[in-house]
Amino acid sequence: MIFVLASFAAMSARAKDDDARRARMIPIAAMSQDVEILYGNPDAAGEPFVMRIRELPGGVIPPHRHPVDEHITVVQGSIFFAVDEKCDRAAMKKLDAGSYAFIPKGSTMCGYTPEAAIVQVHGVGPFHIHWRAGNTWRDGLKTLDSPDAASVFKFKKDDRVNTSRGKGRIRQGYDSGEIVGYEIDGDDGTLFMALESEITAEP
């Protein structure tokens, strides 16, 4: 969810329809990718799916909505979440591991993750993401790989930066239309997120 959903389409395309009815048991484990499809294909209309999403420390879940109902279970860590047009952090509810949330289709949602978390999402596809951009909605995020990245982002890939979590190097950037954030490879070996407003260039 955070900005990690930018990789959602690529990951969901890997789902194999011929494996849909195969029994499986998938323990919770550290995730090396942003999204892991556990069952089904989120892009398939009328078909159930289950996936896990990695939320990075410092991550922000920009205002967005889906055309289908969404069921969220926090399986590791905690997230702060709201189903509200205002997306006021002070009004967000903390969901610890084991917590469940139901978000009706078309609802605007948002949140943030001060520390790392993993959420499990299930529903019935197609699970498209529409990002709020002021008075309009986008079907995709802009990234540092976008052709017009230089006109959108203050920083670029591999820039050395300072944040409240420490120093690091920019890995990727995401612009939802309202929020600009970056994935950062920390000098201490961690991977985290920071908003553009929280980042300064390293001298």
Backbone φ, ψ for residue 87 (5° rounding):
55, 50
CB-based burial, 97-109: b 16+ in 10 Å, e otherwise = eebebebeeeebb
**pLDDT tens across the length of the chain (203 residues):** 445 455 444 444 444 455 667 898 999 999 989 999 999 999 999 999 999 999 999 999 999 999 999 999 999 999 999 999 999 999 999 999 999 999 999 999 999 999 999 999 999 999 999 999 999 999 999 999 999 999 999 999 999 999 999 999 999 999 999 999 999 999 999 999 999 999 999 98
Q: Sign of torsion, CA 180 4 89 163?
A: negative
Query: What pLDDT score was predicted for residue 18?
Result: 54
Q: Give the whole-angstrom CA distance, residue 124 versus residue 143.
A: 28
Neighbouring residues of 188: CB distance < 8 A, sequence distance ≥ 6: 166
pTM beyond 0.95: the answer is: no
Q: State in words which class domain 3-138 has.
A: mainly beta
Provide Rg for the chain, Cα atoms: 17
Measuring CA to CA, how many Å separate 123 from each of 23, 43, 102? 18, 11, 10
**Domain ranges, ordered by start, for the chain:** 3-138, 142-201
Query: What pLDDT score was predicted for residue 203?
Result: 83
Pick the CATH number of 142-201 from 1.20.120, 3.30.70, 2.60.120, 2.30.30: 2.30.30
> HEC states along the chain?
CCHHHHHHHHHHCCCCHHHCCCCCCCCCCCCCCCEEEEECCCCCCCCEEEEEEEECCCEEEEEEECCCCEEEEEEEEEEEEEECCCCCHHHCEEEECCCEEEECCCCCEEEEECCCEEEEEEEECCCCCEEEECCEEECCCEECCCCCHHHHCCCCCCCEEEECCEEEEEEEEEECCCCEEEEEEECCCCEEEEEHHHCEECC
Query: What pLDDT score was predicted for residue 21?
Result: 73
Query: What pLDDT score was predicted for residue 12?
Result: 45
- Cis amide prior to 63 (ω within 30 degrees): no
